[in-house]
Amino acid sequence: EPEVTQTPSHQVTQMGQEVILRCVPISNHLYFYWYRQILGQKVEFLVSFYNNEISEKSEIFDDQFSVERPDGSNFTLKIRSTKLEDSAMYFCASSESGGGGYGYTFGSGTRLTVV
Amino acid sequence: SQQGEEDPQALSIQEGENATMNCSYKTSINNLQWYRQNSGRGLVHLILIRSNEREKHSGRLRVTLDTSKKSSSLLITASRAADTASYFCATNNAGNMLTFGGGTRLMVKP
């Protein structure tokens, strides 16, 4: 079964530092996403990416966040200057079609702790 | 407005029993999806039901959708201890994003 792979699984960073979360989506998927889940809260949409550009983003996805597909396989989320409230589980996902018409495949997540 | 609210928030049953979880939403949708999350792990897609469908089955899972009531239910039949997890509904109503509910924590006791 194809998987979405995320690295690292855990990351601890100092407040104000930059972090890059990495994802390898499923190879024939065209749509890529980042979601986050603060402990005990709902899974929240951050951004979707298609055809090498952002197609949608939420209010959470402000100027401190950016995404990139630097090559044909990786999809990254950069948080420029981390804050304590950025501590969360970050999930990458990919899908064959838009609207999640066949469902999304999520990675196992990166647990980010900002101290 | 909140979208995709599940109830109950927590459910505890014995192995072999059926588990029913409900999801309500507020806006029109393209599709509704159910995901499972084991503690501290990723989300696993279980089943998707489109707005023009009323019922769907996959193995021991049965999902219904009532667009007039803006609600969906997930039934797990003959539950097993391994079904213990959190279950989330998520709606797609425009574009590509999913809006998740708060989830139902299911505990299946052996």
Give the residue carrying structure tokens 């072999």: B16
Residue segments in chain A with a per-residue pLDDT below the cut of 70: 99-100
How far is A106 from chain B, CA to nearest CA, in Å?
Answer: 6
Instruction: Express each pLDDT in B4-29 by its tens digit.
Output: 688 889 999 999 999 999 999 999 99
Question: What is the distance in angstroms between the Cα of B32 and the nearest Cα belonging to chain A?
Answer: 9
A48 contacts B100? CB cut-off 8 A: no
Block residue for tokens 């667009």 = B67
pLDDT band at B1 (very low <50, low <70, confident <90, very high): very low
Q: What is the pLDDT at residue A99?
A: 65
Q: How confident is the model at residue B66 (pLDDT cuts 50, 70, 90)?
A: very high
- The two tokens of residue B18 are 């059926």
Chain-centre distance for alpha carbon A88: 11
**Vertex B27: Cα angle to B25 and B33 (nearest 5):** 50
Cβ separation of B42 and A44 shorter than 8 Å? no
Give contacts of B95 with chain A, Cβ < 8 Å.
48, 55-56, 98-99
> pLDDT band for position B2 (50/70/90)?
very low
